[in-house]
Amino acid sequence: MAQSKILDIHGQPFELTIDEQQTDDNARVQQLLKRYSDNPTQGLTPRKLAQLMKRVEQGDLSALADLATDMEDKDSHLIAELGKRRRAVRSLPWIIKPPRNATDQEKADAALITELLEDATWFNDLLFDMTDGILKSFSMSELRWEYVEKTHMISGAEFREQGLFQLGKENRNELRLRSDDPSGTALNPFGWVTHISRSKSGYLHRAGLTSNLAWPFLFKNYSIRDLAEFLEIYGLPSKIGKYPAGASGKEKSTLMRAVLSIGHNAGGIIPKGMEIDFKEAAKGQADPFLNFVAWCEKTQSKALLGGTLTGQADGATSTNALGRVHQDVMDDIIESDAMELAATITRDIVYPLYALNGRSYSGPRRMPRFEFDLSEPEDIKLYSDSVPNLVDMGMPIPVRWLRDKLQIPAVENDEPVLGRVTATTPVDTATLKTQTAALKTEEPEQEDLDALEARLQKIASPLMDTLLEPVKQAVLKANSLEELRSNIIALAGELNTSELGAQMQLAIAASTLLGRAEVDDGR
C-alpha cells in the first residue's frame, strides 16, 4: 500500500489499514479469544497472591487480568463500589470543542464529529468499557470502520480482554498485541482505543487498583471462611451417642448414623440400651469476624471512592456533614476519571474522525477536542438577588457569563420564552378619593370627568412613549416583514406594562368613585 498522507497523533505518517480489524487475521489472537480464565483466586493464599503479584510486576498482563476478573466475579461489595465509579461518567454531558480562534470550516468539522458521535449507538458502551481500566490498569477496544456517503465512520467498538496484550520489550509502557513473535505485534493506528487509568504513578501495569484491592479481598475471604466454620462448630449443639459394652460393629454403625442424621431430620431410632446426649453449644462471638469483614470492605471503598459513607454507613459516625465531605471526594475522583477519558477519546476517536473527514485538517495541532461538561449550575436564587444590585451599581456584567453560570441556554429562532405575569394590585379607596379631590382642586375650570381625563393623559403619555420606543426601534431596524415579525416576537416578555396598567386601573377606579359622588350630589 502506498504511503499515506495521514499523520498519527504524534505527527508521523503511516499506512492506513482500517478496512478490517487487526484481530481478524491473527491466529494467535483467535486462539487467545477462546481461552478461559485460570481462576487464580481458587485456593488463594498469601503466598500464592505474592507470587501472582510478582508475575504482574514482571509484565504478565494475563495474570493481572485473570486476578482482577476473578475478584469482580466473587466479591459483590467490590463490584458494587466499582460499578458506581464506572457508571458515573456515562451520565455526564459532553461536547466537541473546536480549536481556539476556530475558522468557520473548523467549527463545521467539529459539528460533523459531534453529529457522528451523537448518532453512534456504541459510544455509551465504549465509555463503560474504557473504565474497566480503573481496576485492571488499562482497557482496550478495537474499532470497526465503514465508509458511507463519502464519510469514514466508526460502526462499532469491541472490547478486548487485557490478556490479549503484552508489554513491549524495550518500553514497559507500550502495549502490543500478543502474537507468535515474542516481542508482540504493534497496534494499528486508528484501529484501537487504548485507555490507561492512572490511579498510581509508575509503569502501565501498576496504574490500576488490582494490587491495592487484592489483599483486602484475600483477608475478607479468610474471615468469611472462618466465620462459616465458627457458625458450624459453635452454632449447633454437640450430640454424643452411648452404646453398651460389648456392642457389635453393626450396632455402633447404626448409632453413628442416628447421631449424624438426627440434627437434620429432628428424629431417628436407635437400638434399646443405647443413648444420645445433647450437649449445650459452645460459647463464642461472631463479632470479631464481622468487624474484620467490615474493615476490609471499608478499605475497598476508600481505594475506589475515596471514602466509606458513599457506599455504606456505620450508624455511629455517619453524619450528614461527613457524608457531604465524602461525596465531594468522590466527585473529585469522578472528575479525574472524566478528564482521563476525554483525553483518550480525543486522541483515539476524535482525531481519526477529523483526520479522515475534516476539510480543515492540516495535522494534529489544530484538532478539535472532546470535553465533558463538569460544571454545575449555580444557585439561581442567590444570583437573582445579587446581580440586579451589582447592575444598579454600574458594574457591566456580560449576559454570556450569567448564562454559563446558571446553565441557561440562549434563545434560538422564534422559540417561546418565559415572561413576567403582572399581579393585580388592590386599589386603596381612600387614596382614590384623595387623588380625585386633588384633581378637582388642580383643574377647577374643567368638568370633573374632563379633569380626570387630562390628568390621566398627563401621566400616561410618557409611560406610553417609553413602552412604544422599543417597538419603534424594531420597526426602523427591520428590512422585511419577516424580520419585523421576528423583532416584535423577540420583544415579548421584555416590555414592562405594569406601571401603565396601574395608572389605568387607578383612573378607572377614580372615575367610578367620581360617578358615584355625582349621583349622591344629585348632579
Q: Which pairs from 158-161 meet CB under 8 Å and 24+ separation?
A: 158/21, 159/129, 159/132, 160/23, 161/33, 161/65
Contact 197, 342 (CB under 8 A): no
**The predicted structure's pLDDT at residue 315:** 53
E strands in 29-128: 94-97
- All three cell numbers of 203: 509503569
pLDDT value of position 288: 79
Looking at 393-497, list the stretches that DSSP marks H as alpha helix, in order from N- to C-terminal side. Answer: 399-406, 429-442, 448-477, 481-490
Give per-10-residue mean pLDDT for the chain (523 aa): 61 75 69 69 87 86 89 90 90 91 93 94 94 93 91 93 87 86 86 91 86 89 77 64 75 74 58 61 68 87 78 54 66 89 95 93 90 77 75 79 75 70 55 59 52 65 70 74 72 63 66 63 57
Reduced 3-state DSSP string for 147-207? EECCEEEEEEEEEECHHHEEECCCCCCCEEECCCCCCCECCCCCCEEEEECCCCCCCHHHC
* Dihedral angle sign, alpha carbons of residues 87, 209, 204, 67: negative
Give pLDDT, residue 107.
Answer: 93
- Cα–Cα distance, 249 to 232 (Å, whole number): 29
Residue count of the chain, please give it. 523
Beta bridge partners of 139: 195
Separation between Cα atoms, residue 219 and residue 41, nearest integer Å: 12
pLDDT for position 455: 65
Cβ 208 vs Cβ 136: under 8 Å: yes
Phi-psi region of 394 (alpha: psi -120 to 50; beta: other; left: phi over 0): left
**CA distance linking residue 22 with residue 184, whole number of Å:** 13
Cα distances from 131 to residues 124, 138, 302, 342, 505, in angstroms, run: 11, 8, 18, 12, 65
Integer Cα distance of 510 and 438 in angstroms: 11
What's residue 443's pLDDT? 47
- What span, in angstroms and rounded, lies between the C-alpha atoms of 518 and 511? 10
Residue 241 parent element (H or E): strand 238-242
Which helix (H) or strand (E) element contains residue 242? strand 238-242
